[in-house]
Amino acid sequence: MKYKYDIISIGDATIDTFLFIHDVEIKNIKGQKKALLNWGDKLPVDELYRTVAGNAANNAVGSSRLGLKTAFYTVLAHDTGGREIMHKMRKEKVADDYITIDDKHGTNASTVISFEGERTILVYHEHRSYKLPKFAPSKWVYLTSMGEGFEKIHKDLIKYIDHNKVKVGFNPGTYQLRKGVTVNREILKRTEVLSLNKEEAISWVGETDDMEELCKRLRQLGPKAVAITDGRKGAYSHSDEGFFYIPEFPGPRIEATGAGDSFTSAYISALVLGKKHQQALQWGPVNAGNVVQHIGPMEGLLSRAQIETRLKKMKSWVPIEITNEATKKRVAAIVAKKID
């Protein structure tokens, strides 16, 4: 089959506004981090930054920078934000064939509250009437965050996947996660790589501190492979090629938004380019490690040459294959030393 695209990214785009603050206290309450603010006060903002974002938009730009022929399906508003997003896609050489315009609703928006390199995101999704366009053949599709009614595209998307033998990368967003496994089951059955962070994974398959068990539970839902990120503690890959762990890529952290998207984009791009899962698990953290050194989810996205150059300079930084209890304990010891 002749493919027009290497990957089509499916999901929402947004305009993110970043607020960098210092007047906040972080406490651990019942095992969860909570931000304490003086309610009713006027809190000073140290820096403000605005950018195009959204999981699918981040993936589209990230995939294009890594050399993939990329298209993007999203619904944009006919307003300043919509035009800004469209301009960004064209600038990044992302095909806009499947971008549709909604004249009745505005652009999605998020406010990112950033403190000491970590962030909390306030997300606003406009109402969308999703309808999948007729896609040209693509090697992969990347399905990620969409608003209410996302499941309306599943029937047509499944037909497209089955007819064209398309591989699926699935990185569910908030609404998809909340709908649970049942609503997403047919997509999961067709998923080549499911990418989640640890908390998201637990929300679907239950609590466990055993990362291998967590991966196995997720694969029982249908995906051929699973990639799980655990913040600064590193990331894991589980597939028929084996079970691997890799630490966070070393370097400073300015702002963490887009770290997960950049990890998954590089991981899947590596597979599209013919790499093994073990190599893909190297690509992901390198990309994420550079993104967190910049403000916003796109500024630090790397090219293929940049990732490969960084890996050549750090030949000893390789995934650990977990094959027995000894290597499992070794990884656990490494993870225990990491700052959350």
Q: How do residues 92-123 score in pLDDT, each as one tens digit?
A: 999 999 999 988 889 988 898 888 877 788 88
Does residue 287 surpass a pLDDT of 90? yes
Q: How do residues 219-276 score in pLDDT, each as one tens digit?
A: 999 999 999 999 999 999 999 999 999 999 998 888 888 899 999 999 999 999 999 9
Which residue type sits at 281?
A: L
Does residue 340 surpass a pLDDT of 70? no
- The pLDDT, as a whole number, for residue 257 is 83
What global pTM score does this model have? 0.92
- The pLDDT, as a whole number, for residue 128 is 86
Band (pLDDT 50/70/90 cuts) for residue 30 is confident
Q: What percent of the chain has pLDDT over 70?
A: 100
Q: How do residues 42-84 score in pLDDT, each as one tens digit?
A: 888 888 989 999 999 999 999 999 999 999 999 999 899 999 9
Average pLDDT score over the chain: 94
303 Cα distance to chain centroid: 17
Question: Mean pLDDT lowest for which of 22-26, 54-58, 199-203, 233-237?
Answer: 22-26
Please report the domains of the chain, with CATH numbers, ordered by start residue: 5-14+54-109+126-336 (3.40.1190.20)
